[in-house]
Amino acid sequence: MQTLSDFFAHSGAELALSTLGRRVAPMRQDTFAAFEQEREPWPLPWNGHAQVACALRWPATYQDPAIWFLSLPLDEQGMLVPAARDEFLDRLLQTLGTQPADPSQNGLAQGKLEPTNLMQDNPLAFEPELHQRALLHARLSRHFGQPSSSHSDMARRYLIGDDALNWQMLGLQGLADQVVDSDPAVIEALTLRLNALPREVILPLCYLMEHGDTPAELLPTLWHALATTREAQDIETFCALLRALLGSDAPRVGEWLDRILDDDLMAADCLAAIAARGWQHLEHETRLMRFLERLASCRNANFRRVVRDLALIPRLRLPILMMLRQAPAHSPVGRLVREWNA
């Protein structure tokens, strides 16, 4: 047994894999296997790591799935650095070897393996950010046929416009359930009253939608809300709305991004939001160069860190390297590249 994919295949568990970090999204098992076999780079790198949630459910042993949050180190080309994975796999197999066998179970599901114990003092384990965790749990509940959280109905009633409720009564998990459910009634209500919602609701909604769950019907509403927060100079809300907008792959979002890149309000947080959640819209020759120029011109932005992370994304790596090499020496990008190589 050489890889985690081998373990999953022999575990007897139902498996659901999800990427974390750059985007909370389902991952195909064959994609993960190709990554582990060092045949393909990680598709969505985040701070030099492949962050993945492995949800395993042993039907005869555990009612709820066990979830392992793993952060696997990547090399400079986005490929797996296997040593840490191998160490974790060895530890996993050693732990299995100490479990008492149960003849009623098959394969690696024998005995009562406590998956949470494997994460204790594990250098690969990490705690996802709260919004990502809530979104993941909402998606996994639907994948495994489990009911929504107890907060879901109240969140739905509030978003539709129940005047008997106030935002302090809401739970983050309930909002995540509604984002994943994509209820047409909720989407219609948000298109009409998003700007009327308190900031304390708009922010978490945006942080949940930014992972690809922004309904197409809501995009114009978000775009107009950006203009309102732009006038109010509310950078935090502006960035949150921007992230939710960029979470959509719709072509018109790329066109709006062209206009946003011309905005003098482009603070470091906004540029970081574009890199984190709108990387797919940077797969465009002129837009990518304009983004790099804005990033290099922003005094508070960490140009080197952002560019390194973006260059790990397989479809952006070659274009970014070429633009860095060809940047005129007198340009903001060219000056930073010279300092970088000095």
Can you spell out the DSSP letters for 86-117? HHHHHHHHHHHHTSPP-TTS-GGG-S---GGG
Same domain, 190 and 224: yes
Does residue 304 sit within a domain? no
61-99 burial, b for 16+ CB within 10 Å, e for fewer? Answer: bbeebbbbbbbbebeeebbbebebbeebbeebeeebeee
List Cα–Cα distances, 256 to 244, 259, 288, in angstroms: 13, 5, 14
Same domain, 123 and 136: no
Structure confidence at residue 299 (pLDDT): 86
> Taking a C-beta distance cutoff of 8 angstroms, is the pair 94, 88 a contact?
no
Does residue 300 sit within a domain? no
List Cα–Cα distances, 129 to 82, 134, 267, 328, in angstroms: 25, 9, 23, 39
What does the chain come to in residues? 342
In the structure encoding, which two tokens stand for residue 240, read together? 């949150």
Same domain, 216 and 173: yes
pLDDT < 70 regions, the chain: 61-62, 97-118, 265, 342
Same domain, 111 and 153: no
Does residue 329 sit within a domain? no
Does residue 341 sit within a domain? no
Structure confidence at residue 211 (pLDDT): 96
Structure confidence at residue 106 (pLDDT): 45
Same domain, 274 and 148: yes
DSSP state of 164: T
Domain count, the chain: 2
Q: How far apart are CA 254 and CA 266, in angstroms?
A: 16
Half-sphere exposure (Cβ direction) of 191: Cα atoms closer than 13 Å: 14
Of the candidates 83, 104, 128, which is a domain's last residue? Answer: 128
Same domain, 271 and 136: yes
Q: What is the dihedral of CA 265, 193, 130, 253, to 10 degrees?
A: -50
Does residue 43 sit within a domain? yes
Which helix (H) or strand (E) segment holds residue 15: the answer is strand 14-19
Same domain, 93 and 141: no
Does residue 141 sit within a domain? yes
Same domain, 108 and 239: no
Whether the full predicted model's pTM is greater than 0.75, yes or no, is yes
Does residue 302 sit within a domain? no
Structure confidence at residue 166 (pLDDT): 92
Of the candidates 282, 311, 333, which is a domain's last residue? Answer: 282
List Cα–Cα distances, 97 to 84, 102, 287, 313, in angstroms: 20, 13, 54, 38
> Taking a C-beta distance cutoff of 8 angstroms, is the pair 267, 231 a contact?
no
Structure confidence at residue 231 (pLDDT): 87
Structure confidence at residue 103 (pLDDT): 39
Please give the backbone phi and psi of residue 271, each rounded to the nearest 5 degrees, phi first.
-65, -40
List Cα–Cα distances, 166 to 48, 119, 198, 240, 320, in angstroms: 41, 38, 10, 21, 47
Residue 150, SS3? coil
Same domain, 75 and 13: yes
Q: How far apart are CA 155 and CA 174, in angstroms?
A: 5
Domain span at residue 108? Answer: 4-128
Q: How far apart are CA 102 and CA 253, in angstroms?
A: 55
> What are the pLDDT digits (tens) for 240-265?
999 999 999 999 999 999 999 988 76
Same domain, 93 and 202: no
Q: Quote helix, strand, coil % in the chain, to nearest 5.
A: 60, 10, 35
Structure confidence at residue 100 (pLDDT): 44
Same domain, 188 and 46: no
Does residue 311 sit within a domain? no
Mean pLDDT, the chain, whole residue set = 90
Same domain, 72 and 124: yes
Of the candidates 87, 113, 128, which is a domain's last residue? Answer: 128
